Amino acid sequence: MINAFLRLASSFRNRMILIFLSITILPFILFSAYAHTKSIEGIQQANITFSMSYLEQAKINVETYLAQLNEGINSLIGDKTLQYLLERPPLSPKEEETISVDMLSIVYEKKKQMDALQLRVYPLIPADYPTYMRALEESASVGEEEWFRQAADSNVPYWQLSVSDGPNRGPLLSYIKTFTSLHSRTPRGIVVTDLADNHLSRFFSPTKRLQRQKFLIIDDKDAILFDSAENEWTGDVLPSPQLLAKRNLYNEGVEKLSIYDQEHLITFVRMDSLPWTIISLTPMDALVEPVTEMNHLLLVIIIVYLLVSIGVVIYLTRNFTQPVLRLVRLMRKLEEGDFGMYIPHQERKDEIGWLFRGFGSIVRKIEDLIAQSTRAERSKKELEFQVLSHQINPHFLYNTLESIRWKAENNGRSDIGEMVSALGNLLRLSLNQGKDITTVGREIDQVKAYVQIEQARIGMPLRVVYFFDEDMLNITFMRLLLQPLVENAIQHSIRGNFEHGKVILSGRIEEQDLVIDITDNGKGIPDSVIQALEEESEDQKMSGRSGVGLRNVNERLKIYFGLEYKLQIESKEGIGTRITIRHPILKEKLENGA
């Protein structure tokens, strides 16, 4: 960089340009930096003043609301009828039903007078009030839950936060209070009042709130009871030990701290009636966003001014040395095999224009030749695939088999009808509406149809087991891959030992590939067959041994997806064989019924 600067400053013209830029640009940049700093300080101070004023008002509103809520609960507890109903357990089911109706009426009337989501009164022994508990849609075993026992053993009311994972229900803040008799300290029951997030969010919706500014309420255990930003952090512990420590020392304050790796301007106020703290969090990038936009505009102006100032130098160089240098770079890219480079169009009529146009013409001709070669290779592979996969006319066989099945069933030979039906189903799945790809589920159905035919043909059951996750069954898959391998395992590996022979098909997803294993406990595949499968000479491909079987599947995988997707075979004589198919997860989606 230093050498480049020295070369640039060696010219008198360039030195004058640099001096001019230093005189005009540097003072402008220094002034902009000073204005930026003062603007941020002013915005921060205005936000602190507004936030503290708003938090003080929100504290008063919240405390007033909670005081009214507590008065309503005390009014319910002081109801003499409710006290009488809970004075003793009911002596009979009929009495219990009468008490349940009366209690529900009292609670319902009081609920209409209170600004709460839900109001519930629990007897100290819920099991003695089954009808009442069913009406509350609560189990009588609620008395055994930890929160209930904690409330019953304590005369001090407390708040409890419960967060539901359901899609239609948010966090609930419950006020739990155990009440006693009006004339003694004998416990009578428990009152639970539920508040939804909207009961508190109405106190934290300022019209001038900055973007991404949020308000929190935390309790004395540092847990977040309320988050105005759609309860993003509700139920979590506030991850700021510095703020929590300062909250314990002061009733209000201002801090600039980092929370979840983002710097915030924080103001807080402690409540008087409850051990809660109301906090305002404003991201610093949101505060400085207006100033940042102004700086961006200023930067654009500086860049434009700089470009205009050095325009003369650019004009002098771009018409001579730069075009030649650009052409040399393009040639080097061409030597490296980069045919996707952009070649600018030249309207010049001189030798440089002729060079650019001639070079572009040569590149286009080379691209056309490569494209022709690619199309020819693709056509060759498609023809090879058609030779490997298309064998007979399946439409004719499918229609003929349907006629045979119909005649067999009309003549009472259901076994023949089932076998022909399975064969017809196998043929239909093989046909696949003329498409080269299907789904994993349809391939498995094709294997099952083939196994059914083999069982009927040999007259004894075959043990073929399938282990596939449900989410794999609808994934796109090349057709006619599994059935030839299962057929090979049945015909050449476990044949002669069907009573103990077993074939297992299992599938899984590894990164961007489907991996399917076909395992059997048969005789194994000879090494000579596996070695021949690896050979790829033209004589072996044309020898006719590649029909429907291992070579067929192996060749199709290599033609369609490349050499890295060929079959992987592990086989030991007398122990068994495991053949692994690795198939890429295709982006193509099949139409319904494909």
Domain map (residue ranges) of the chain? 78-199, 464-584
Distance (Å, whole) CA 84 – CA 445: 70
| Token pair belonging to 182 | 């009006």
Full pLDDT tens readout for the chain, 594 residues: 566 655 555 554 556 666 766 776 777 677 777 777 777 777 788 788 888 888 999 999 999 999 999 999 999 998 999 988 988 889 898 999 999 999 999 999 998 888 898 999 999 999 999 999 999 888 888 988 888 988 888 888 999 998 765 555 678 899 999 998 888 888 889 999 999 888 888 888 765 556 778 899 999 999 999 998 888 898 899 989 999 999 889 999 999 899 888 889 999 999 998 999 999 998 888 777 777 777 777 777 777 766 766 665 565 566 666 676 677 777 777 777 776 666 776 777 776 677 777 777 787 788 788 877 777 577 556 645 654 554 444 544 555 566 666 666 666 666 666 666 666 666 665 555 556 688 999 999 989 988 888 887 787 888 999 999 888 999 999 888 898 899 889 888 888 888 889 999 999 999 889 999 999 999 888 888 888 877 754 444 444 443 347 887 888 888 888 889 989 999 988 889 999 999 999 876 544 433
Distance (Å, whole) CA 175 – CA 191: 8
Dihedral of alpha carbons 403, 404, 410, 416, sign: negative
Contact status, residue 76 vs residue 105, Cβ threshold 8 Å: no
Distance (Å, whole) CA 85 – CA 386: 86
Strand 464-467, strand 503-510: pairing: parallel
Quick one: DSSP state of residue 576?
A: E
Contact status, residue 402 vs residue 563, Cβ threshold 8 Å: no
Distance (Å, whole) CA 263 – CA 266: 9
To the question of pTM greater than 0.85 for the whole model, the response is no
Tell me what pLDDT residue 589 has.
52
| Token pair belonging to 330 | 């393009």
| Token pair belonging to 531 | 């070695």
Tell me what pLDDT residue 223 has.
92
DSSP one-letter string for 533-573: HH---HHHHTSSTTSSSHHHHHHHHHHHH-GGGS-EEEEET
Give the dihedral of Cα atoms 153, 159, 163, 169; nearest 10 deg.
110
Tell me what pLDDT residue 207 has.
56
Distance (Å, whole) CA 148 – CA 169: 22
Architecture of the structural domain at 78-199: 2-Layer Sandwich (3.30)
Architecture of the structural domain at 464-584: 2-Layer Sandwich (3.30)
Distance (Å, whole) CA 268 – CA 280: 6
Distance (Å, whole) CA 411 – CA 391: 32
Distance (Å, whole) CA 237 – CA 373: 64
Tell me what pLDDT residue 581 has.
95
